[in-house]
Amino acid sequence: MRREGQGRGRRLALAAAGLLAALATPFGAFLLADRFLPPDLPRLETVGRVVQDREGRVLSALPAPGGVWRLPVAAEDVPGHLVDLLIAAEDRRFRWHPGVDPIALGRATFQWIRAGRVVSGGSTLSMQAARLLEPRPRTLRSKAIEAFRAAQLEWRLGKPGVLRIWLTLAPMGGNLEGVRAGSLAWFGRPVERIGVAEAALLVAVPRRPEALRPDRHPAAALAARNAVLLRRAAPALPEAERRAALAEAAPAIRRAMPGLAPHLSREVARDAGPAPIRTTLDAGLQRGMEALVREALPGLPERASIAIVVADLRSREMRAVVGGEWLAEGRAGALDLTRTVRSPGSALKPLLYAMAFDRGLATPSTVMEDLPRHFGDWAPENFARGFSGHVTAASALRQSLNLPAVALMEALGPIRFASALKRLGAPPRLPPGAGAALPLALGGAGITLRELVGVTAALGDGGRAGSLRALQGPAGAGEEPVVRAQVAEAVAAILTQPFPGGGPAGIAWKTGTSWGGRDAWAVGFDARHVAGVWVGRPDGTAIPGATGRSHALPILARAFGILPAAARPLPAGAAGPRPVAAPAPLDALRLLFPPAGAVIEPGALTIRAAGGRRPLTFLVDGVPVAEGGARREAGWVPPGPGFYRVTVLDAAGTAASAPIRVRAND
């Protein structure tokens, strides 16, 4: 115990000796103080957000907490002439001093002793940065603390870090801080694009931010700016450039901060860091779509709202997103209605027909029945309550008839349709406890406008799956098509027709209306863009008489009028995906699964049929596997890999068959 106590004592003595040695040198004392008294940086990190479009143009600026316009900026973000003017005006020896300029401090001390008052402060940019981080009263004690903090900042952050602090926190009048906020408010442009005269004003205003506010004291602001331009130490400017800068007028008003795409801007900024956020939007298109919404709203019933999504057809990058009229009174303007789950009505029928064509259940020329019919206990009707009798599938889709669509859904299978929606990034939201069922054909599940636009994009892009995105970055891996390209083109050809009230040509479009007129939809695509419009009341109450054709489609036509013209060409032979021997009515016997040419994984298989006269008999290679009786399906377990022919036979002797292959186990 005694020996252990002696060892502890020696260690304490050595530690004390090391501390004294550190304190014995100024640098050692500084390092010790720096370790235990680190600079306070939260103000620098507590900033607003800047959201940019795909070209780097500012879409929207969001304030820091407390409503202060403090936006992040670094020295490399601003023009070189701004930094040059700042150093010339505030700290000529900034490039070489360690945070404190002994020459400037000596001069300031001498002037203070001789005049009995402060003539010049002797503050470096580093000391100003320290004061901006931790504001203090102007006292000698505060100056000493600022000098220590300035050396700390230089030691920890270097010259670029010191400039970042000044450029981000310098007061610009009112609740503006930093050159990025000042540039947007006083000049209406990003700081990256300001000229020499504008840079000089941003250097001048922080000296007396309230007395030099351009909107309140324009003459004083102009004089201060010119003093910076005429300063002896100012960077050498060509005389013509200096004269041009001096001749520029100073701003006399404070501009509103950019506020395009307010819903999306807040969405992408929620989890982002302080750096500017680059989106896929196009500022010009966004501005045009927002103006379209403002112009169209007065023609709608009270409390109705509009949402629009425009995306690039190939990349799925969104180019414009209007979630509603921002903060519009009575229209729930703060809600992003492009993300609200609503019933799509008939807007999903194009995908349903494409999937049916792809599986050989019909072609555009197949004759279908639009006549009263029960599907179990459900007897759907058309929107107009009437029936068209026998129509082609193409005409049924173009007229948005309900009975043919439900019949196709029965033949295709609601689960298969729901799975395709999920692959397309639009998983259907079903009522609690409900599964995928036939009403999916008529909008019996929830979807958002963004998701509907993504589904529609697949039909304009060769059947390729892919989700919409708003942030720049590498495109996702290519998805397997949900339907073949020729099938997608066939459906696109059916939907390409003139807008009823006039508009650009070469657009494929489809409308949808949910029950009671609660949701009016219109989606469409040309050769380059896909767009969707939703009209309704955010609270879900009905708009009597509202339909997709009457309320949403005219807005969609105007939206395509804003987009660059890119009419869809109609390729030869787009009438159908492939010819069939003869169109068959949907009550004819047909094999639903497996389809002809299918490659099946090993294991139990369910054979399904539709139509025909029961009882049905199921055969594989001519050998019965089951008599379905009243059922339209039968189970079969392949004995091994190879090629087989699956056949279904009805009571009238009609047969339907399909060749398939069972894959070998890996």
Q: Between 100 and 176, whose confidence is greater?
A: 176
| % of the chain exceeding 70 in pLDDT | 87
Is the pLDDT at 11 greater than 60? The verdict is: no
In a domain, 273, yes or no: no
Cα separation, 227 vs 221, whole angstroms: 10
- Hey, which residues does 469 pair with through a beta bridge? 317
How far lies 435's CA from each of 39, 353, 444, 445, 613, in Å? 59, 21, 11, 10, 28
Q: Between 597 and 3, whose confidence is greater?
A: 597
Lowest mean pLDDT among 40-44, 65-69, 319-323, 400-404: 40-44
Is the pLDDT at 195 greater than 60? The verdict is: yes
Mean pLDDT across 175-185 = 97
Is the pLDDT at 305 greater than 50? The verdict is: yes
How far lies 63's CA from each of 52, 110, 263, in Å? 15, 43, 15
In a domain, 269, yes or no: no
570-617 confidence digits (pLDDT tens): 645 444 443 333 334 446 787 877 877 777 788 888 888 888 888 888
Mean pLDDT across 55-65 = 95
Lowest mean pLDDT among 269-283, 357-371, 513-527, 592-606: 592-606
In a domain, 158, yes or no: yes
Q: Where are the alpha helices (DSSP H) in 470-581?
A: 485-495, 553-562
> Are 421 and 450 contained in the same domain?
yes
Cα separation, 102 vs 95, whole angstroms: 14
**Separation of CA 197 from chain center:** 36
In a domain, 262, yes or no: no
- The answer to whether 126 is a known catalytic residue is no
Q: Tokens 């891996």: give the residue.
A: 477
Lowest mean pLDDT among 55-69, 244-258, 352-366, 618-632: 618-632
In a domain, 259, yes or no: no
Q: State the sign of the Cα–Cα–Cα–Cα dihedral 137, 143, 144, 150.
A: positive
Q: Tokens 């351009």: give the residue.
A: 214
In a domain, 497, yes or no: yes
> Are 393 and 314 contained in the same domain?
yes
> Are 566 and 597 contained in the same domain?
no
> Are 561 and 451 contained in the same domain?
yes
What is the per-residue pLDDT for 666?
A: 60
> Are 186 and 240 contained in the same domain?
yes
Mean pLDDT across 642-653 = 82
Give residue 287's domain range. Answer: 280-584
Tokens linked to 209:
């931010």
> Are 384 and 240 contained in the same domain?
no
> Are 24 and 48 contained in the same domain?
no
Residue 182's pLDDT band (cuts 50, 70, 90): very high
Is the pLDDT at 14 greater than 50? The verdict is: no
Provide the 3-class DSSP secondary structure of residue 616.
Answer: strand
Q: Which of 584, 611, 636 is where one domain is finished? A: 584
Mean pLDDT across 372-379 = 85
> Are 348 and 454 contained in the same domain?
yes
Q: Which of 190, 224, 247 is where one domain is finished? A: 247
Domains in the chain: how many in total? 4
Is the pLDDT at 625 greater than 70? The verdict is: yes
Residue 629's pLDDT band (cuts 50, 70, 90): low
Asked if 365 and 577 count as a contact pair (C-beta separation under 8 A), the reply is no
Is the pLDDT at 113 greater than 60? The verdict is: no
β-pairing, 305-312 vs 318-322, is: antiparallel
DSSP string, 617-662: EEEETTEEEEEEET-SEEEE--SSSEEEEEEEE-TTS-EEEEEEEE
Peptide bond into 594 cis (omega under 30): yes
Residue 622's pLDDT band (cuts 50, 70, 90): confident
- 648 CB-near residues (< 8 Å, 6+ apart): 589, 591, 607, 609, 612, 616, 617, 618, 619, 655, 656, 657
> Are 285 and 412 contained in the same domain?
yes
In a domain, 260, yes or no: no
126-170 confidence digits (pLDDT tens): 999 999 999 877 777 777 888 888 888 998 899 999 999 999 999
β-pairing, 605-610 vs 633-636, is: antiparallel
Q: Where are the alpha helices (DSSP H) in 248-361?
A: 262-269, 283-296, 349-358
Lowest mean pLDDT among 404-413, 467-476, 547-556: 467-476
- The answer to whether 346 is a known catalytic residue is yes
Residue 96's pLDDT band (cuts 50, 70, 90): confident
In a domain, 533, yes or no: yes
Q: Which CATH number belongs to the domain containing residue 646 in this structure?
A: 2.60.40.10
> Among residues 60, 90, 325, 451, which one is catalytic?
90
Mean pLDDT value across the chain: 87
Q: Which CATH number belongs to the domain containing residue 234 in this structure?
A: 1.10.3810.10
> Are 531 and 477 contained in the same domain?
yes
Q: State the sign of the Cα–Cα–Cα–Cα dihedral 388, 393, 397, 398.
A: negative
Residue 263's pLDDT band (cuts 50, 70, 90): very high
236 φ/ψ angles, rounded to the nearest 5 degrees: -65, 115
Lowest mean pLDDT among 291-300, 414-423, 639-648: 639-648
Element (H, E) at 593: strand 590-593
What is the per-residue pLDDT for 8?
A: 53
Residue 505's pLDDT band (cuts 50, 70, 90): very high
Lowest mean pLDDT among 30-39, 74-83, 444-453, 527-536: 30-39
What is the per-residue pLDDT for 137?
A: 78
> Are 28 and 123 contained in the same domain?
no
Is the pLDDT at 97 greater than 50? The verdict is: yes
Cα separation, 335 vs 344, whole angstroms: 19
17-34 confidence digits (pLDDT tens): 444 444 456 666 666 666
Q: Which CATH number belongs to the domain containing residue 390 in this structure?
A: 3.40.710.10
Mean pLDDT across 167-182 = 97
> Among residues 60, 126, 183, 346, which one is catalytic?
346
> Are 296 and 398 contained in the same domain?
yes
